[in-house]
Amino acid sequence: MSSVKRIAVFTSGGDAPGMNAAIRAVVRTAVHHDLHIYGIMRGYDGMVKGEIKRLEVGDVANIIQRGGTILKTARSEAFMTAEGRKQAYETLIANDIDGVVAIGGNGTYTGAMVFMQEYNIPFVGLPGTIDNDIYGTDYTIGFDTAINTAVEAVDKIRDTADSHSRLFFVEVMGRHSGYIALHTGIASGAGAIFLPETNTSLDDLSDILRKSAKRQKLFNLVIVAEGNQNGDATEIAAKIKEKNPEYDVRVSIIGHLQRGGSPTAMDRVLASRMGHSAVQTLMRGEGGVALGVINDKITFTPFEAAISKTKSLNKELVKMAEILAT
Ligand code: F6P
């Protein structure tokens, strides 16, 4: 017997490819188990404002391949206040919601944890962010698509960099985390990668450039994570040009291209597994946890740990990237 009868799902924070696949899995699993399922529009903001609607199987047809989120998303100021959360509670109670699936990143989990400290409605979190920076899962929904988009773009940049013998600095997303940069750099064979987590300096890069020039090695690609310690790609490129005027330097910022587009098969499967499991978790009467997949197994991490612990970069991969770049 399920302890929940009516559940709601929403997406929050930055969108990520695969969120729709997760919504679809939540809706279809819920309907399969004869639960009523509701969609909350625009994240916590919609919860505060009462923007909620019943979803049926047909509402999630033809969305597994679509980027973005059919439920829209937002960052909510109102939900950060006690008054806002009270209104959100009233929305859930007015619709007899007894369990919620929250798809988003750390901010989404924080909102869910605070809400659960005040009100007795269980939330289950799914990691939906391209950054892959959430503790308690090997991969987040959207990461695989984002790095594939970035690598495709970098491959194209490399063609023109190669033809003109130019040095390109390509900036990828990842405000606090170097996952996108590291994986994009490895997969595109970059000469160097600037990460928020490591302290590659501009002098280090100048050294690498000098050594490469001596060996007549073609060096044309540096990947820069937006959150790295030396500034953004434009600033780094300007400083490197100043130190090494012989280089013909260009900058390319991939930006929000990385957040859109059709999710990869990996992301669709990951999102489907997590969405399916989220409903089962609520049906078992559990809540207050973020779902993950570690070593191909579904895992559960209390919100508090998922928020407070940092998912570190794989140091071996960082070292390997340096070796392969030489
Ligand atoms: O959290 C995902 C992310 O894409 C970050 O990598 C990036 O810094 C940020 O969102 C940009 O967010 P927005 O465009 O919503 O301000």
What would the pLDDT profile of 33-63 be if each residue is shown by its tens digit? 999 999 999 999 999 999 999 999 999 999 9
How many beta carbons lie within 10 A of that of residue 104, not counting itself? Answer: 31
Reported CATH class of domain 6-142+263-308 = alpha beta
- Round to the nearest angstrom and report the end-to-end CA distance of the chain: 59
The answer to which of 41-45, 73-77, 267-271 has the lowest mean pLDDT is 73-77
Q: From the alpha carbon of 177, which atom of ligand 1 is closest?
A: 6
Q: What is the mean pLDDT of residues 102-118?
A: 98
* Residue 26 pLDDT: 98
Residue closest via CA to ligand 1's atom 13 equals 14
* Residue 233 pLDDT: 97
Question: Ligand 1 centre from 163 Cα, in Å?
Answer: 32
pLDDT tops 70 at residue 153: yes
Q: From the alpha carbon of 105, which atom of ligand 1 is closest?
A: 1
| CA geometry: angle 217, 223, 227, nearest 5 deg | 150
Question: Ligand 1 centre from 199 Cα, in Å?
Answer: 22
131 has catalytic annotation: yes
Q: Which of 45, 98, 131, 144 is catalytic?
A: 131
Decide: helix, strand or coil at residue 36.
strand
Residue closest via CA to ligand 1's atom 12 equals 14
Decide: helix, strand or coil at residue 213.
helix
Q: From the alpha carbon of 227, which atom of ligand 1 is closest?
A: 8
3-state helix, strand, coil in the chain (%, to 5): 45, 20, 35
pLDDT tops 80 at residue 2: no
Choose which residue among 103, 131, 254, 311 to substitute to test ligand 1 binding: the one with the highest number of ligand atoms within 8 A of its C-beta.
Answer: 131
Choose which residue among 69, 132, 173, 226 to substitute to test ligand 1 binding: the one with the highest number of ligand atoms within 8 A of its C-beta.
Answer: 173
pLDDT tops 70 at residue 1: no
Question: Ligand 1 centre from 187 Cα, in Å?
Answer: 22
Q: Which residues does ligand 1 sit against, CB inside 6 Å?
A: 14, 105, 129-131, 173-175, 226, 259
The answer to which of 69-83, 109-123, 194-208, 281-295 has the lowest mean pLDDT is 194-208
Question: Ligand 1 centre from 256 Cα, in Å?
Answer: 8
> Residue 212: which residues within 8 A CB-CB, separation 6 or more?
191, 218, 219
Choose which residue among 12, 76, 259, 311 to substitute to test ligand 1 binding: the one with the highest number of ligand atoms within 8 A of its C-beta.
Answer: 259
Domain ranges of the chain: 6-142+263-308, 145-260
Question: Ligand 1 centre from 155 Cα, in Å?
Answer: 23
Q: What is the mean pLDDT of residues 268-285?
A: 98
Confidence of residue 292 (pLDDT cuts 50, 70, 90): very high
CA separation for the pair 322, 326 (Å, rounded): 7
Question: Ligand 1 centre from 243 Cα, in Å?
Answer: 31
Share of the chain above pLDDT 70, in %: 100
- Are the CB atoms for 107 and 75 separated by under 8 Å? yes
Please, what is the angle between helix 315-325 and helix 179-188, to 10°? 30
Query: Does this chain's domain 6-142+263-308 share its CATH topology with 145-260?
Result: yes
Reported CATH class of domain 145-260 = alpha beta
